[in-house]
Amino acid sequence: MNTLRSFPRKWLIATTAVFIASGLFMRPFAQKPVNTARMEWWRDARFGLFLHWGLYAIPAGEWNGQTNYGEWIRNNAQIPLNTYNNFQSQFNPTRFNAGEWVSMAKNAGVKYIVITTKHHDGFCLFDSKFTDFTVMNTPFHRDIVKEMADACHQQGIQLCFYYSIMDWHHPDYLPRRDWEYDRPAGDADFSRYVQYMKNQLKELLTNYGKIGVLWFDGEWEETWTHELGKELYQYVRSLQPGIIVNNRVDKGRSGMAGLTISGDYAGDYGTPEQEIPATGVPGVDWESCMTMNDNWGYNSHDNKWKSAPELVEKLVDIASKGGNYLLNVGPTAEGVFPPASVERLQAIGSWMKVNGESIYGTQASPFRLLTWGRCTQRSIPGGTRLYLHVINPPADGKLLLPGLANQATKVYTLAEKTPLTISRKSTGQIIDPGSSLKNEYPVVIALEIKGKPIVYVEPSIQAGTSIFIDQLPVKLFTPVAGAAIHYTLNGTEPTIASPQGRSLLLKKSSTIKAACFINGKQVSAVATGSFEKVTPLAAQTIEPSSGGLEFASYEGKWTQLPDFEKLSPAATGTVANFDISMKRGKDEYAFVFDGFIKIPVDGVYTFYITSDDGSRLFMDGSLLVDNDGLHGSIEKSKDIALAKGLHAIKVSYFENSGSDNLELQWKGPGIPKNKIPDWVLFRK
């Protein structure tokens, strides 16, 4: 797992609002829905518990005076293998009680548990005949996975296994870490390692009863291939045909966003890590795995705990978008959950005992956006029950359900069953919750309606960019059958007397407001989009000396981009493009690329920068795209109007740990989105 920074508590409302307002909805993914009976329990469960436990719990996040490590401590602190192996003789979690762990999970409302049978360090929590690096060769000498399996089966919790494809211990795993001078690759044979994995997976899938999910990880290194992923998927399905396998078995995962990119990739569901998709992804199964604090493995110094109400809000947010929530606990070396984890699980359990029916077995919200909260739904005889989760109560206390056309039959608080009043307005319905919203946790209101939900969503305003030079085509679209779209261009509210249409051609800066009308009445909320007419940035009058870019590389450990002007580069030179391949596979380095880009014609161009970890793109000395920070592979972009000619371009990048990646793409007049080619790059 990669450790990412946590989000502020109220991020979930604000983030979605930004995506909705800008029209930046989750792009479609090629992952095909797995419509089989084996997925049903998982889709109904909605809530799982992740357990990251192993030898890394012994140093508890601290090494050589630094205290920011977790389960990656061997790699990130560059601990020699022989030194790390000493933890095996120290592993003796005498307070471990599988029954207590499972009971805590069950009381929290959890339906399934995913435990790390083997993490990246190669240490196994189960009895394996294929390695001595297991719990059976520690002072504890008990099969932890067997005890967890027995407890889960006894208490009705579905047991699932995490298994790392990457292995920093096995002599045949490749590639080696660049800092492992004491472990030359020698005669390592990756094919032997693949067979070792299969042998262990057979043990896990034949010795511990029915397993719900195989949760793979560590698939990103170049030794693991698409072909190996597909073959491994079929292999584990041959051992337990009913098992569910995540998409990290293959190479199709799109960075930390976790959903499967286009292609014939194996895997039954997507795995966003430390993030929640901004909108739902219809037809795609996914599960957000997230920590309670900053680390997956136990770190005794990590006190950045999310509050229990925030954790419940994340559960609600995920369920409202049709996903599952896999919440992590990192047990201590003694074999107990940290007290802060226990307190939060108890608080979540108290909320779930009252409101669990609004989570389990529900489907995603029919609403595009509720500014005050989230919604889940389930079918009931003759209609649908909507569960309205109030997170940010509006100032006037009234809950607007925009565009809801169905007749309401009953509305009440889920906890107390207190009846509430609902009234209709032209663009939806309004619930008056009275004083029921005074609670730090989400308050759930049940609304029963006739039939399946009919929601008249606001139109979408579609344009290639938000800025333009001469003119800009804009499309107005609605999925509402039989609806007319009326709009204004000056920011005023549209009425039935406003112009009607689906295609516009803007020639000046405009704020478009549009709404759907049926039979002369407004039935949807109003969509807004602003577009600015701009003057292109003038080209620079210089004569470049040659093609390509100048670069400077740096060595150091950062969690964000440093001030490179205060640092001395480890190397300088020239390169044809934005290329980090000379350092690829290594950790703790940075690059700065400087040069010019030749713009072929006046126009609006979009520049995309994808990086793992952080990066920034500057154009003509000004910051254009900021993708800085400690994160997985993330793409960010921005539009800019440029005149024909040469423009200064600069990219800064750093890599902390784990995988590394830097990609620069562009699109513009007559140019589809693609990698910036060598022939448009020049240096002084």
DSSP-assigned letters across all residues of 165-208: S--SS-TT-SSPPTT-TTS--TT--HHHHHHHHHHHHHHHHHSS
Give which of 470, 606, 476, 471 is closest to 529, Cα–Cα: 476
For a pLDDT cut of 70, what percent of the chain falls above it?
A: 95
pLDDT tens for residues 635-676?
999 999 999 999 999 999 999 877 788 999 999 999 999 999
- Where residue 20 falls among pLDDT bands split at 50, 70, 90? very low
Both tokens assigned to 617: 């793109």
Which tokens hold the place of 192? 């032997």
For residue 350, what are its two tokens? Answer: 């108290």
CB 558 within 8 A of CB 590: yes
Weakest-pLDDT range from 94-98, 285-289, 366-370: 366-370
Q: Give dist(CA 274, CA 629) in Å, integer.
A: 14
Q: Does 21 have pLDDT greater than 60?
A: no
Contact of 108 with 346, CB cutoff 8 Å: yes
Residue 631 structure tokens: 């994160």
Where does residue 105 rank: exposed (0-12), middle (13-18), buried (19+ CB within 10 A)?
buried
CA 297 to chain centroid: 19
Look at the alpha carbons of 204, 210, 215, 216 in this order and tell me if their dihedral is positive or negative.
Answer: positive
* pLDDT exceeds cutoff 50 at 36: yes
Q: Tell me, what's the pLDDT at 434?
A: 83
Rounded Cα gap, residues 267 and 245, in angstroms: 6
pLDDT, position 3: 38
User: Residues 505-554: pLDDT tens digits?
Assistant: 999 999 999 999 999 999 999 999 999 999 999 999 988 778 999 999 99
pLDDT at residue 437 tops 90: no
- The β-bridge partners of 652 are 592, 616
Label residue 640 exposed, middle or buried (CB < 10 Å: 0-12, 13-18, 19+). buried
For 583-631, the pLDDT digits (tens) are 866 778 999 999 999 999 999 999 999 998 899 999 999 999 999 998 8
Per residue in 369-426, pLDDT (tens digit) is 899 999 999 999 999 999 999 999 998 989 999 999 999 999 999 999 999 999 998 7
Residue 369: both structure tokens together: 């956006």
**Domains along the chain?**
38-358 (3.20.20.80), 373-450 (2.60.40.1180), 460-533 (2.60.40), 546-683 (2.60.120.1560)
- The pLDDT tens digits of the residues spanning 207-244 come to 999 999 999 999 999 999 999 999 999 999 999 999 99
Task: State how far the Cα of 642 lies from the Cα of 465, in Å rounded to an integer.
Answer: 14
What pLDDT was estimated at residue 182?
A: 87
pLDDT tens digit string along 249-287? 999 998 778 899 878 999 999 999 999 998 888 889 999
- The predicted pLDDT at position 642 comes to 98
For the stretch 311-356, pLDDT in tens is 999 999 999 999 999 999 999 999 999 999 999 999 999 999 999 9
Residues 135-159, buried b or exposed e (16+ Cβ, 10 A)? bbebebeebbbbbbbbbbeeeebbb
CA-to-CA distance for 353 and 383, rounded, in angstroms?
25
Say how many residues make up the chain.
684
pLDDT in tens, 109-160: 999 999 999 999 999 999 999 999 999 999 999 999 999 999 999 999 999 9
CA 14 to each of CA 7, 58, 102: distance values in angstroms, whole numbers, following the listed order: 11, 39, 35
Q: Can you tell me whether residue 642 is helix, strand or coil?
A: strand
Residue 34: predicted pLDDT: 65
Q: Cα–Cα distance between 441 and 315 in angstroms, integer?
A: 12
Q: What is the DSSP letter of 354?
A: H
Among 15-19, 168-172, 315-319, which is the least confidently predicted range?
15-19
Mean pLDDT for the chain? 92
Contacts of 189 (CB under 8 A, 6+ apart): 172
Q: Locate 238 and state its tokens.
A: 């041959």
* Of 12-26, 92-106, 180-194, the least confident: 12-26
Distance CA 94, CA 277 (A): 40
Residue 32 pLDDT > 80: no
Residue 443: strand, helix, or coil? strand
Distance CA 251, CA 230 (A): 9
